[in-house]
Structure 1
């Protein structure tokens, strides 16, 4: 497998990815992945809040991401929705860590919780802020609308760098991953599928260095950058493989990326 050549037959590649997606999309996946954080909750808003925060800090090793997400949970008293709704600035004094996760610091966390508090006082779910309009086929505009609303009260705060802008050609990997968690519906038990008003056919692959490299090995994409244009290039291929659930292939690409034999 180490000297893998591009698949010459699209049907063979589709079958290969279908098999790998089915293999890696299993509840065993949860144990070592940041998605385990929202899986600790049953209330929809708790799942959304912890999923959004865990996805926001999802870069680096999965072990460190989970550990740092647990620091946030402990600070929230393991009651995220209640904490967010009743958040006051003085609550930050009870967060006894200088750092949250790498460059995401205490000031960023404060701004994120403040913004989440404002949004949840107007919406019963974050889903309302990610809706795809009729003439849209992906989340390019949706993610920018969310970003604008999220930072509505302070568009120049340092924390804006932690919510990627598709309008700046970012692949928005962490937001796309969060959307997969919330939107995808299947019977495997990994993704939640709790958002009813967004069709999973619009989902894309959370593109980063690892999934990008694997996709190029498989000849799924040609572009060298890991940006939004490459996300759309991958969409064209994967939606031909499965136009109803293209994001399932994230399991295949991620799983192959951590497979040492591959």
Structure 2
């Protein structure tokens, strides 16, 4: 077995369901009461019994009117945790890749509207944020994430939604993590639908590592978790 130690467990986005719920609808004096209200709201949105979910949630402070919720099927999470324990590692923080990357990409930037595209094999997550707080979260699998052209179309649709439904005007920045396509190809493909030149997310320098190349994009979530823990 490896040396025993506590680790941060970074999971692929599709293993959990992310949702933004109105803060006024799940507010309560005690956190346990808020969790019960959240579970009630999620009961029809999950592909499994909400009683079998591990739920985590966080508010965005006094200026945010929403609560960010993550729900994962308990046996799935326990499977990941048990795999770690089997080699002598003990999971501490459990984070989704997209949220870890969001914090690494925008956590130290001035407040503005920005888009993160977390593109991996089999899925793509689009995180539209104001500052580091999400306004919109979409994780696409299946046909919507099956081809580069489909992903580009969904990115364009997200920009339209931002303008027409969220009252946005222009993004200050768009950042891409691409573990599927080569970085240059992914950035070129998304430049059109974004109507701006996106940047490649590279958290490794902040984690005091050199150029990791293609592997750096694959493992970017792990680096982002390290960066976040140092802030």
Same fold (TM over 0.5): no
Which of the two has greater helix per residue?
1
Which of the two has greater strand per residue?
2
TM-score (norm 1): 0.27
TM-score (norm 2): 0.30
